[in-house]
């Protein structure tokens, strides 16, 4: 089954790539730079039967802001928007089935999920090939219709030639925007055969993918900040949609102002809005983008968990790195984007990164099996690449309103890991999760003292009958969802066997924020309460 899905995905990707062979732009923006992407022959209509794609990339850890105005001459009888369609993909994915679809006329605003986004249009009408007269492409020095370009900074409109200035003046007025001298224009003539354009309509028939991942939006004179008509299915075109005067009508035009900006916060994202579960159960695929496993290079065995908090840093437990095969960074690597350790087909997000440094807390100690200051930072040799499925957890940088540190007694946290499902039992291949209750510190101390143990400073306890973390889950984070974001409030430290009458003890991350910052001074961490 997974092999079939892999082949289907590759087929769609190749079909989409062929569709845009004659007009495919890769553009890189600098911080604060603006780019005006116009359709071919703008302000005239682009030719029917053509297709163009623009993949735009901002610097790392920035996002792209799009303000687009569309005027697509979709046939009034085309209830599925197949004759003229505009795509926006916030994740930079070039596969059409993961995009939003637009048709009609109006304005909309969007932001990229991370630092890359893709816009494209596809016209399935019949037309003659465009004229052989080439328009000057202001992003490409050559005549190739596929280009990779870094947009130059501080290009003044006044410094461009007269033809370019006229093109600017003929464009639509930009309300509330002063483009200044940072605006660039993309003008590219294209010609794509109807056979290739038809491939797009075949991609639309993936019903499951469309229901779960796509939205079709029909525009009609919408102000930029108004809500648009949306539907996961292909809803009817609104009654006020402008009728096409001729069955041969097609084509359209669009203009998108794109800007690279710094996001207010970028951490703790998760595909699944609900992380609570009634029992220990398998996590949803990519439910925990910060989740990582720590492996030995020699045996490839996963022996502890970790949580991504930055491109180069992960949180884990110091006690994980005391053995002869785990005490040196050169011996270790981390795996991210993983789900089933026994399978290579359930996800394309899996990557492995070698470690450059192990940073254990200077006051870490362990006596009678009870670690103190049980926290470590792992630094990777190369940066971890973000995606929808891999990204950092937020840190509890801010206390509660009454000054207490998270998590509080009575809260619930979620642990995830590839540990054993029973004490001394086999290690699971698939990522499991468990929702645990945070209990009062005094109650925890009394319970553990009666059993001959205790609670180290800067720790908190969890206890839920029948649910617990277990062996090899150490070092993994305990997450609390705050305003929709995953916040790493704890690190799995130690317990008495698994799922017994004794609580488990976890490192309280909020007590070590100063230490984390001191060991990674170059990092500006994102607050969890945003």
Q: Which residues are catalytic?
A: 319, 374, 474
Our measurement of the distance from residue 292's CA atom to the centroid of its chain's CA atoms, rounded to an integer in Å, reads 16
Report in angstroms the alpha-carbon separations of 142 from 52, 149, 156, 300, 492. 17, 11, 22, 48, 57
Q: How far apart are CA 151 and CA 312, in angstroms?
A: 28
How do strand 313-316 and strand 302-308 relate by DSSP bridges?
antiparallel
Cis preceding linkage at 43, omega within 30: yes
φ, ψ (nearest 5 deg) of residue 9: -65, -45
Q: How many CB atoms lie within 10 A of CB 73?
A: 23
Q: How far apart are CA 235 and CA 139, in angstroms?
A: 37
Token reading at 385: 């690449």
Q: How far apart are CA 406 and CA 490, in angstroms?
A: 9
Q: How many CB atoms lie within 10 A of CB 15?
A: 16
The per-residue b/e assignment along 21-59, b for 16 or more CB within 10 angstroms, e otherwise, is ebbbbbbbbeeebbbbbbbbbbeebbbbbbbbbbbbbbe
How do strand 100-111 and strand 84-89 relate by DSSP bridges?
antiparallel
Q: How far apart are CA 101 and CA 217, in angstroms?
A: 6
Burial of residue 328 (number of CB atoms within 10 Å: 0-12, 13-18, 19+):
exposed
Q: Please say whether the beta carbons of 153 and 182 come within 8 A.
A: yes
Task: List the Cα angle 121/125/131 in 5-degree steps.
Answer: 80
For the chain, the helix, strand and coil percentages under 3-state DSSP, each to the nearest 5: 15, 35, 55
Cis preceding linkage at 329, omega within 30: no
**In a 3-state reduction of DSSP, which class is residue 44?**
coil
Q: How far apart are CA 156 and CA 220, in angstroms?
A: 34
Q: How far apart are CA 19 and CA 13, in angstroms?
A: 10
Q: How far apart are CA 194 and CA 197, in angstroms?
A: 5
Report in angstroms the alpha-carbon separations of 198 from 99, 122, 125, 149. 17, 9, 10, 29
**In a 3-state reduction of DSSP, which class is residue 240?**
coil
């Amino acid at each position: 089954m997974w092999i079939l899905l892999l082949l289907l995905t590759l087929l769609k990707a190749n079909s989409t790539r062929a569709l845009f062979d004659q007009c495919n732009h890769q553009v890189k923006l600098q911080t604060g730079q603006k780019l005006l992407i116009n359709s071919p022959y703008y302000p005239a209509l682009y030719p029917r039967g053509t297709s163009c794609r623009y993949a735009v990339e901002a610097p790392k850890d920035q996002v792209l802001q799009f303000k687009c105005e569309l005027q697509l001459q979709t046939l009034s009888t085309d209830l599925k928007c197949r004759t003229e369609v505009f795509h926006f993909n916030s994740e930079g994915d070039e596969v059409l089935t993961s995009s939003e679809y637009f048709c009609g006329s109006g304005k909309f605003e969007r932001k990229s999920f991370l630092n890359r986004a893709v816009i494209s249009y596809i016209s399935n009408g019949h037309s003659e090939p465009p004229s052989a007269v080439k328009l000057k492409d202001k992003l490409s020095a050559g005549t190739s219709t596929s280009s990779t370009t870094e947009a130059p900074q501080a290009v003044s409109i006044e410094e461009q030639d007269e033809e370019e200035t006229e093109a600017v003046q003929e464009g639509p007025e930009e309300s509330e925007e002063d483009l200044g001298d940072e605006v660039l224009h993309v003008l590219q003539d294209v010609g794509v055969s109807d056979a290739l354009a038809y491939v797009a309509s075949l991609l639309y028939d993936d019903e499951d993918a469309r229901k779960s991942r796509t939205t079709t939006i029909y525009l009609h004179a919408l102000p930029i900040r108004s809500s648009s008509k949306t539907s996961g299915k292909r809803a009817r075109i609104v009654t006020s949609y402008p009728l096409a005067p001729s069955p041969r009508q097609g084509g359209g035009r669009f203009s998108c102002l794109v800007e690279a900006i710094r996001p207010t916060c970028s951490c703790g994202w998760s595909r699944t809005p609900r992380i609570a579960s009634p029992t220990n159960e398998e996590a949803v695929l990519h439910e925990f983008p910060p989740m990582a496993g720590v492996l030995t290079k020699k045996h490839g065995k996963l022996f502890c968990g970790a949580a991504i908090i930055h491109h180069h840093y992960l949180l884990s437990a110091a006690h994980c790195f005391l053995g002869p095969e785990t005490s040196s960074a050169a011996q270790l690597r981390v795996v991210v984007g993983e789900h089933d350790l026994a399978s290579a087909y359930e996800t394309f997000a899996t990557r492995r990164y070698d470690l450059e440094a192990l940073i254990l807390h200077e006051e870490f100690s362990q006596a009678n099996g009870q670690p103190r200051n049980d926290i470590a930072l792992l630094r990777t040799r190369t940066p971890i690449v973000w995606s929808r499925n891999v990204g950092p957890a937020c840190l509890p940088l801010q206390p509660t309103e009454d000054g207490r540190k998270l998590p509080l007694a009575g809260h619930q946290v979620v642990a995830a890991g590839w540990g054993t499902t029973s004490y001394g039992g086999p290690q699971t291949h698939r990522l499991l999760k468990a929702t645990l209750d945070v209990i009062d510190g005094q109650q925890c101390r009394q319970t553990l003292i009666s059993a001959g143990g205790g609670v180290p400073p800067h720790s908190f306890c969890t206890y839920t009958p029948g649910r617990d973390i277990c062996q090899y889950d150490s070092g993994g984070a305990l997450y609390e969802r705050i305003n929709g974001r995953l916040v790493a409030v704890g690190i799995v430290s130690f317990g008495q066997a698994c799922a017994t009458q004794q609580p488990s003890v976890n490192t309280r991350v909020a007590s070590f924020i100063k230490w984390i910052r001191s060991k990674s001074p170059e990092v500006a961490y994102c607050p969890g309460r945003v």
